[in-house]
Structure 1
């Protein structure tokens, strides 16, 4: 007993403590701000990326590392991405949410430009668990790690799990410079939003003034930021200042985030789709390297047609997109050493392209070659010791078998009784140019210079008040002096003391291009530019290099040819763009040198007269019924612009028939009299003009007879097969248009065809029209029939005097059959009844004195689309039983008591209601015709206030507005919530249909790869249907557009709503109101 008391006491005590902790815990116990949870302390991890669109990235990278990674295998990869930011709102970057798919693979992009590809398999090991987004490169194709998921929109991968190791496969693309400068910005409108700031717009335009391509615009912005702003990570703008404008116009000092953010915004203001990327910048070497928060970095990615996203980084201005066989880095700062002492220098040999057989040599005057490096990596080399005072430049030179080389100089000084420091530390000397070298010698009196270098033309010295002697040496290269690297020995003397200077000199020579370019060319034409490249001074021809040719189309320079030059000669095939307009153009031919080559690039400009390309837009085969055949075509320029008022000659089987003239839209028509089934070759010829080239086209015209049954029957739910023949043609492709919806392709083989139409789900008459292009060759009708089933719904019928027998009639698809008569016989009592809209027929029959099991026979005689049917049933007919009202009342009372008891015991929990504010238009379409009232409803808690174009329009839930033609802003306010929408008032729905079709649908169709110029609306719809786009909205869109464009009957609101919804289904809401 006592034990039970103790147990009860302890139980009550624990329950009391539990209740007190729940109620008072939040008030009594409060953790200091920033306190970490036990999980965070024991298992810290990186914050997940791209999980929310509410916050932007931190402004600066913290100095203290918050993650430690071991990265292996990044032989060609500098940038590991973690987050992508898309929207710049109120001074900070946010990310539009994107869907992660359960796949660890993303297909690489389709690159349609000549390129170089390098593949890496990279392993990442983290000392702390990672979750959310993973560090991967731009074009990662596969991630092997626990729970890896892909985010294709941002080329990212993530995991919901905690991982400490994973690996990924990546591909990187680089391009020769001529292909890059030929790129144009891609169509990614969601990456073009930018602040509406006139100062930013003016700056963006001024930076890219004179840029001759979209790629040059991006490079110009990178170089402007790199050359005019200072990089400091720990930067904080004044409170309340906009960080971007403060960085660009005031401080001009910022972090990696500031540089990248400015680059993205300035690119967008120049029409370049761009996004901000956060991650780490690492060494591009295969060996394992340690990566911490100190590697954190921001950069930009810009989207271009045919290449996809490319990296741009003002803080690493070496263009990451240009193909280089290697990267070489060595410290360029002065390294002072004492006599007989040594030092260490770090050499980075990175991003070495596969198959180039690249290597690095390290040479030091008096010491000779101290290293030969054949593999990429980071190397620490010992330099010295040097016995005598002097200036000893460390020459680090990377090269490959293609003649590319890159040299870095590390200046090393060993002081003595007399010392001298050369400026510049490395002399780049152009032939026929003089360079003045300045030597700063501490002390005065008796300073001299001794040298046998043929480059030294003269020298003199000046003593300064700072107790220094300045020696000025004039360097000039003789014409016969070899181009390339040389070490020139100079000795500074003062009394018996000497200081030897081993000066690196790179002698380069200018070049000249001599070429022959045709004076008159035709758009779309090809020819070869033959020429030579020579040294301007010596006349010697450089052994290596390449040649590129561009033509200016009025807006940008377009690459028309790119080839190698060998021993100073070249034969450059070029092709003039087909879209080039007629007129005087400039052709630029450039000689491009290999990396580190001792010749300078050069260019030459040639003027050419371009004759525009003329071409016919017509089908190659025209099928028509015998009689007068009207042939319609267009004469267009290479850019697809109409050529108006042009004379067109036409011939039939080589026999001239006449001439016609193009209209202002470039179209022309001609009539052929072909009364029988026959086949001819129609030739149309444009003789050309001073500005457009001649053009001719042969078209086969055949008159045919389509033979199909006039009427075909089919059954609901079953495919319909149509067999036919086409007299006059052996092989062709027709279109069968089934009203009101779908088009089928019909292949005519040996004059016959078979067509199978998908099952119809309703009965009725369907018209099938056979077309070739826009011409109708014949029609047939399909009558869709259905068997019916008669069901008895009342196996027992009761009543006082009469009882109701109910029957239902359905077709084979279980659809109700309405409006048909049934012949019903009940034990000799016959009557005729009709089914209602639900397919149900009701028959009232007399009730006998005693319960009877009657035989009921129901017969349906059939109709136009329903087959005859009958049924025999047995029905029990009896008098209606009385209702037990007493028992029903008792049951209702008991039920009410039970319900009341449950409602009292179970009180509903109070739930927070999310506030909602919506503007709902009549039919959901915010477009109305002039004179129509705009009906809309506001969904909100409470009364809403409505404003139209900023002016109050009333309070309430439902509104009816009369608005003028144009676009209007509708704003609803409900408490703290504000919702806006745009409504458009048009003069006629026809105008809106034509506008949306041409402004929204046609550009979308072009984006699918269709050449819509010269195609009819029906041809466009048919082509898109063949490309597996949904046929229903395409058919509706085309039908309503043709009515708006060509019919005299105005489009109704119902038709416009069908058009609008079909357009939304196809192109989305980005273009339309």
Structure 2
């Protein structure tokens, strides 16, 4: 209790001092200008990750941030990621901008390759505030921390706040190595850019030459760097030297940055999409560990199809291969005085779940001294060692469940004596049928040296040197054929006179293997079969009890995994499938025996040369529906990759009876004609006999001739779904397609001979063609007529004028769009008149004004048209003369108003308001483009009486005009008082010319800028490509349909069709290209 009080008192005192220094420090102490604040000394800020350095030029190696972290829970995690670099520019790595997604989760990838997975829950506590990117794992699924947000493109998380603690959940994936060797690199061109230097390309090519898979390319690059370059910290190239070239071709030593940067560039030059990653390398143990900037590390990630981003690090073992555990022991050797003990560090990491893996620590003379049941870092005391001798500390990890695996690490302990022996190797690997030589240098020998042992593994020995100087013994080890495989301790005694020195030498006795396999000489692409075989030891003929077998088939470019399974007591029976897309020819088939980790049998392989026949198959539907009469069947004969098989003979049979033969063209296509006069159903059999290069092929196709009962014309209302029902005779159940011209497709399910489907609402009136298709055959073509009711509105509530007054009506359709170009019959108190709506759906009528104010009844009727239904409206409107202007009262009111205005201006000057004068030219026909001979109707809106000019010449005064102009462009100008408004009208020989011009001048350039290859596609293919890109299908298909009619049909395009075309163009591309 007293201790707790003292701790509490001390804590409060320190907090008080800290608060005092922060709050009062600036007021009490004047520090030199360059002195760091206490906050900077205690809590320097961590740079916010990939953000751009705005204060100076970019640097070659990113600045090392300062960090001190406590990391807990990283049981299967070595790599904590902080930054990702994507672009190598002028010798520097940069990061492309990426989208930051609000939220603290990223879904794990969908692994399409068999794999093992482990989940970790990791907590990071920082002594320094963190902001920007957070330390997380490659596949982190959730981060729990203040302000956490995701950057999915780079699998990163960041925060805009200062945090000192957060946790995250992660998944790590590993794979059996046959699945890794079967991976192909992803198609990600943005991660393939690299310097265009001949030396770099040649180096990359020489490293990966002969690689049989993309993963092997990456492995070769990593191993080349690991084996030919030296890892040093703080490597600095000379000034004005390219760091990458200096590392690869001159110094050949560098930091993890240099190794990883070189890997990424060499991988990209080898066609592997790769990126550079910065972070920290930590121990993969669940216990809390301290991580600082000294653990800062760089590595690479490569993207593979089906497996996602995989880590590659030339400075560490491949983390992608599944192992049940990792085992490291330090130091590898030590010297201990007699009677003393030593300490070794055992790192038991990445222990896979479900393996029940353990570690035992043994010394031959002391038996077991420790047993470890869980992953972690352990410091273990070994000894005491009573007398001189060579004592290996054997640290063995092994699995107790799942696939058997073991791994032995050794710390060699030397206890000096009168003479001392230090073997030239910590352990000996002894292969049966071969021999091994062990050197035993002897220190302190003054007489001849001798060796004493009872081990049957020692065949003979000889001594070398001169007593009193350098001397020693060579021991030749040979395993008897019946000697058991595995680890053994060979106990030997080295003597020099009366001096003796015991040596306990670990020896691993192992045996080579050979694989025998029964494989057919000829294989067929697409076939499945079982390959049987055996694995035997050499020279004993013993059968390995366990292991795995992988079968690869080389297609001329890469190895393809076709089978993978287990070995049991020296035998295997492995199901394999030959890839269907293989080209015919001679191939190499390799069978690998893969021994478990630590197993005394050595992995081996055997290779066979086999002939592969290509897969032949027919490409056509298994059900063909057609109308009665001559039915043409079209199909293709292709190989497994979809490539054509040309000049092949195809026999065809109807209901089992031979009918005839046909031949394939160079594109593999063929056609045949059947005469089926009525509603019938038959089985068509196609047969290809095969050849020396291709397999046989056959297919049974049901051919049914059918009839459809469906209305020739279906009428639907604008803006509402349209239902179509019908029956099909000749087939009970099928799936048809309804193609709504131009371009929308619906699936139509036929059940018990009937179908019923609904078409989405149309937004314009008119006729549409609907084709009922099966495959590429049109079974029936019907017409859908889209009509609309109209609504008539009176816009004038009171009409005033001297002699005439204006009434305005508006007509809209069922989707509230204006209806133009229709005639209205208007009755005003019995006076019959007629008006037509303009492009805005407005009809204007001048009516006589009676002497007395009148509440008139207005009846408006529309008799209907092709696509608009009849409508009528009854309204009441007040018609009166304009009042005479009372100038006396106006003058008096004006005087009073001026006085009030002056008074208010003195107090406060308000913003001036001014009524804007209006002058507008309205083309009642809509778009100001017409074909030769058409009359354009123009209305002018202004406050006074307008005057119209055409091409600079006066045309007349009034508000409504009708003009018929010559071919060409014309300027229409309206003048009203001081206002002048002009518009441009164009007259063409036909609307066909306008449609073609606007399609080619406006639509095609826009489509090309949107990513469509318009130069290589037909108009219909362009429309389909845009629809696939999620552009609205109806306007795209409408403008395509009208363009095809204008350019190819020879028929004239009507004004209504041109307006539909033009509006569709504007809807798709916007207003950047107008009349």
**Bin of the TM-score, shorter chain as denominator length:** 0.7 to 0.9
Aligned counterparts, 1:355-754, within 5 A:
355-401=354-400, 402-442=403-443, 445-452=446-453, 453-463=455-465, 467-754=469-756
Aligned counterparts, 1:177-256, within 5 A:
177-256=177-256
Deviation at 1:799, TM superposition (A): 3.0
Deviations 1:678-736 (A, max 9, x none): 11111111011111010100111111111111112111121111111111111111111
Question: Aligned equivalents of 2:140 and 2:666: distance in 1?
Answer: 51
Structure 1 stretches lacking a partner, 5+ long: 1-28, 905-980, 1002-1016, 1066-1073
Structure 2 stretches lacking a partner, 5+ long: 1-29, 913-1005, 1051-1057, 1071-1075
What SS does the corresponding residue of 1:423 show, helix, strand or coil? coil
Deviation at 1:339, TM superposition (A): 1.4
Contact 2:646 2:665 (C-alpha < 8 Å) held by counterparts: yes
Question: Aligned equivalents of 2:467 and 2:1067: distance in 1?
Answer: 86
Question: Aligned equivalents of 2:82 and 2:115: distance in 1?
Answer: 26
What SS does the corresponding residue of 1:153 show, helix, strand or coil? helix
Question: Aligned equivalents of 2:237 and 2:1066: distance in 1?
Answer: 49
Deviation at 1:216, TM superposition (A): 0.4
Question: Aligned equivalents of 2:134 and 2:181: distance in 1?
Answer: 33
Deviation at 1:428, TM superposition (A): 1.4
Larger deviation, residues 797-806 vs 320-329: 797-806
Question: Aligned equivalents of 1:431 and 1:615: distance in 2?
Answer: 52
Cα RMSD between the aligned structures? 3.9
Deviation at 1:241, TM superposition (A): 1.9
Contact 1:1037 1:1063 (C-alpha < 8 Å) held by counterparts: no
C-alpha spacing 1:894/1:159, structure 2 compared with 1 (3 Å): farther
Contact 1:53 1:96 (C-alpha < 8 Å) held by counterparts: no
Name which of 821, 826, 829 aligns with 2:828.
826
Deviation at 1:537, TM superposition (A): 1.4
Larger deviation, residues 813-822 vs 463-472: 463-472
Contact 2:445 2:467 (C-alpha < 8 Å) held by counterparts: no
Deviations 1:530-570 (A, max 9, x none): 22111111111111211111111000111111111111111
Aligned to 1:19: none
Aligned to 1:927: none
Contact 2:1038 2:1061 (C-alpha < 8 Å) held by counterparts: no
Contact 2:1020 2:1040 (C-alpha < 8 Å) held by counterparts: no
C-alpha spacing 1:894/1:861, structure 2 compared with 1 (3 Å): farther
Q: How many residues are matched?
A: 929
Question: Aligned equivalents of 1:614 and 1:237: distance in 2?
Answer: 60
Aligned counterparts, 1:202-351, within 5 A:
202-316=202-316, 318-331=317-330, 333-351=332-350
Contact 1:56 1:94 (C-alpha < 8 Å) held by counterparts: no
Aligned to 1:80: 80
Contact 1:183 1:215 (C-alpha < 8 Å) held by counterparts: yes
Deviation at 1:226, TM superposition (A): 0.9
Contact 1:329 1:349 (C-alpha < 8 Å) held by counterparts: yes
C-alpha spacing 1:839/1:1056, structure 2 compared with 1 (3 Å): closer
C-alpha spacing 1:220/1:786, structure 2 compared with 1 (3 Å): same
Deviation at 1:642, TM superposition (A): 0.6
Bigger Rg, structure 1 or 2: 2
Deviations 1:354-412 (A, max 9, x none): 11121111111212211111111111011122122221111111111333110111111
Contact 1:183 1:304 (C-alpha < 8 Å) held by counterparts: yes
Larger deviation, residues 444-453 vs 379-388: 444-453
Deviation at 1:209, TM superposition (A): 0.8
Deviation at 1:840, TM superposition (A): 1.1
Deviation at 1:425, TM superposition (A): 2.3
Larger deviation, residues 156-165 vs 380-389: 156-165
Aligned counterparts, 1:808-957, within 5 A:
808-880=810-882
Larger deviation, residues 98-107 vs 319-328: 98-107
Contact 1:279 1:296 (C-alpha < 8 Å) held by counterparts: yes
Question: Aligned equivalents of 2:552 and 2:869: distance in 1?
Answer: 74
Contact 1:256 1:315 (C-alpha < 8 Å) held by counterparts: yes
Tell me the TM-score normalized by structure 2: 0.80
Tell me the TM-score normalized by structure 1: 0.80
C-alpha spacing 1:1059/1:69, structure 2 compared with 1 (3 Å): farther
What SS does the corresponding residue of 1:70 show, helix, strand or coil? strand
C-alpha spacing 1:1033/1:44, structure 2 compared with 1 (3 Å): farther
Question: Aligned equivalents of 2:166 and 2:38: distance in 1?
Answer: 26
What SS does the corresponding residue of 1:529 show, helix, strand or coil? strand
Question: Aligned equivalents of 1:154 and 1:509: distance in 2?
Answer: 47
Deviation at 1:39, TM superposition (A): 7.0
Aligned to 2:118: 118
Aligned to 2:966: none
Deviation at 1:633, TM superposition (A): 0.7
C-alpha spacing 1:614/1:371, structure 2 compared with 1 (3 Å): same
Contact 1:444 1:463 (C-alpha < 8 Å) held by counterparts: no
Question: Aligned equivalents of 1:874 and 1:982: distance in 2?
Answer: 52
Question: Aligned equivalents of 2:603 and 2:288: distance in 1?
Answer: 39
Deviation at 1:106, TM superposition (A): 2.0
Contact 2:446 2:467 (C-alpha < 8 Å) held by counterparts: no
Contact 2:1008 2:1014 (C-alpha < 8 Å) held by counterparts: no
Question: Aligned equivalents of 1:1061 and 1:237: distance in 2?
Answer: 60
Aligned to 2:1000: none
C-alpha spacing 1:77/1:773, structure 2 compared with 1 (3 Å): same
Question: Aligned equivalents of 1:816 and 1:830: distance in 2?
Answer: 24
Contact 2:419 2:445 (C-alpha < 8 Å) held by counterparts: no
Deviations 1:322-364 (A, max 9, x none): 1111110002532111111111110011111111121111111
Question: Aligned equivalents of 1:682 and 1:390: distance in 2?
Answer: 88
Name which of 1016, 1023, 1031 aligns with 1:992.
1016
Question: Aligned equivalents of 1:1056 and 1:166: distance in 2?
Answer: 59
Contact 2:330 2:344 (C-alpha < 8 Å) held by counterparts: yes
What SS does the corresponding residue of 1:729 show, helix, strand or coil? coil
Question: Aligned equivalents of 1:228 and 1:687: distance in 2?
Answer: 57
Deviation at 1:30, TM superposition (A): 14
Deviations 1:181-217 (A, max 9, x none): 1111112222222222221111111111111100101
Q: Is residue 2:783 matched to residue 1:781?
A: yes
Deviation at 1:890, TM superposition (A): 7.1
Contact 1:1033 1:1062 (C-alpha < 8 Å) held by counterparts: no
C-alpha spacing 1:1059/1:825, structure 2 compared with 1 (3 Å): closer
Question: Aligned equivalents of 1:246 and 1:419: distance in 2?
Answer: 46
What SS does the corresponding residue of 1:206 show, helix, strand or coil? helix
Contact 1:1040 1:1059 (C-alpha < 8 Å) held by counterparts: no
Aligned to 2:959: none
Contact 2:332 2:410 (C-alpha < 8 Å) held by counterparts: no
C-alpha spacing 1:32/1:309, structure 2 compared with 1 (3 Å): farther
What SS does the corresponding residue of 2:480 show, helix, strand or coil? coil
C-alpha spacing 1:431/1:112, structure 2 compared with 1 (3 Å): same
Question: Aligned equivalents of 2:614 and 2:705: distance in 1?
Answer: 35
C-alpha spacing 1:994/1:502, structure 2 compared with 1 (3 Å): farther
Question: Aligned equivalents of 1:863 and 1:157: distance in 2?
Answer: 64
Aligned to 1:109: 109
